[in-house]
């Protein structure tokens, strides 16, 4: 199995969640062993996708360098990861990736348009060798060794529409597209009002997020899945975990996980080389590992 990039450059324009202004997003192919690189075309700054460049995790995953930031990268990265793309240049002309409809479905469509190109250099994946857990009170995120890849996420919210939800994704590209990609981000009306008072979430609407008041969903079309909330948390986690620099094989488990806990998990994982091994997907011995990214 080989490293991949996209066959051709593609682009779209969407609204930024926080500024509420149009953002142009362009994806371009890169050579093997380049990784995922973000580039701010308006200020001519490139930012490598590594945990050390994460500068904020409060509302989204934000990377930065020399005071230049790119926010809300996780939905795009979630799709890139699911498609098994190893090398890609992500160009934006503002400080955030466009939110689109609040899910990763638009980015999946963009990648389908771009196509996947093999690069004839063996693909590398990270095999989890030891259990790693980051815990804060009842909340935790965990990686553990496994011959396949699963995301097991549980959320609890004191809201009559959400309550407790759990979802287990047995990861493949197809299962991601069918079960996860269309799940939208969500927020509460009082939070949106507060953020707007601070000059944030100016692009947030019922067309790009699920919004709830104290009792119900405000979106007239309702939910795409009965458990859309926890499915979106898995979408976020997949994007956040892509900052380890490659696809991985192992189980991810979370109780009320967050961008912050996911970031701390990637740092903890990479801190000790004994936690993992990097495997090149060549030969019969890696056939099982290849299934998730076929």
Q: Name all domains of the chain by residue range, CATH numbers in brackets.
A: 2-122 (3.30.230.20), 125-293 (3.30.1700.10)
Per-residue pLDDT tens for 134-174? 999 999 999 999 998 999 999 999 999 999 999 999 999 99
Question: Regarding beta strands 22-29 and 149-157, do their DSSP bridges make them parallel or antiparallel, or are they unpaired?
Answer: unpaired
Helix, coil or strand: residue 193: helix
18 carries an active-site annotation:
no
Catalytic residue among 18, 75, 232, 259: 259
- The share of the chain scoring above pLDDT 90, in percent, equals 84
pLDDT of residue 227: 97
- E strands, 171-243, are 186-188, 210-212
Bigger pLDDT: 194 vs 255: 255
Per-residue pLDDT tens for 174-220? 999 999 999 999 989 888 777 777 776 778 888 999 999 999 999 99
Per-residue pLDDT tens for 216-233? 999 999 999 999 999 999
Provide the whole-model pTM.
0.95
Distances (CA, A) of 247 to 36, 82, 85, 130: 12, 9, 9, 17
pLDDT of residue 283: 65
């Amino acid at each position: 199995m080989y490293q991949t990039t996209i066959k051709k450059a593609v682009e779209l324009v969407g609204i930024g969640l926080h500024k509420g202004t149009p953002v142009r997003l362009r994806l371009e192919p890169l050579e093997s062993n380049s990784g995922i690189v973000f580039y701010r075309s308006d200020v001519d700054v490139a930012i490598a996708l590594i945990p050390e460049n994460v500068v904020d995790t409060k509302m989204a995953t934000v990377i930065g360098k020399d005071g230049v930031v790119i926010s809300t990268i996780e939905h795009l990265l979630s799709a890139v990861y699911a498609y098994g793309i190893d090398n890609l240049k992500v160009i934006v002309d503002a400080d955030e990736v466009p939110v689109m409809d609040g899910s990763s479905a638009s980015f999946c469509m963009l990648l389908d348009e771009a196509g996947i190109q093999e690069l004839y250099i063996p693909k590398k994946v990270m095999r989890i060798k030891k259990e790693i857990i980051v815990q804060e009170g009842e909340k935790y995120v965990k990686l553990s060794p496994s011959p396949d890849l699963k995301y097991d996420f549980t959320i609890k919210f004191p809201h009559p529409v959400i309550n407790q939800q759990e979802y287990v994704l047995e990861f493949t590209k197809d299962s991601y597209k069918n079960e996860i990609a269309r799940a939208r981000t969500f927020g509460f009306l009082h939070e949106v009002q507060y953020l707007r008072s601070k000059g944030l979430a100016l692009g947030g609407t019922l067309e790009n997020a699920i919004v709830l008041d104290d009792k119900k969903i405000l979106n007239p079309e309702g939910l795409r899945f009965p458990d859309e909330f926890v499915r979106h948390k898995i979408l976020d986690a997949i994007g956040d975990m892509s900052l380890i620099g490659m696809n991985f094989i192992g189980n991810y488990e979370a109780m009320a996980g967050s961008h912050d806990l996911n970031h701390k998990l990637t740092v903890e994982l990479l801190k000790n080389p004994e936690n993992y091994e990097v495997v090149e997907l060549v030969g019969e011995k890696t056939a099982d590992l290849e299934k998730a990214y076929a």
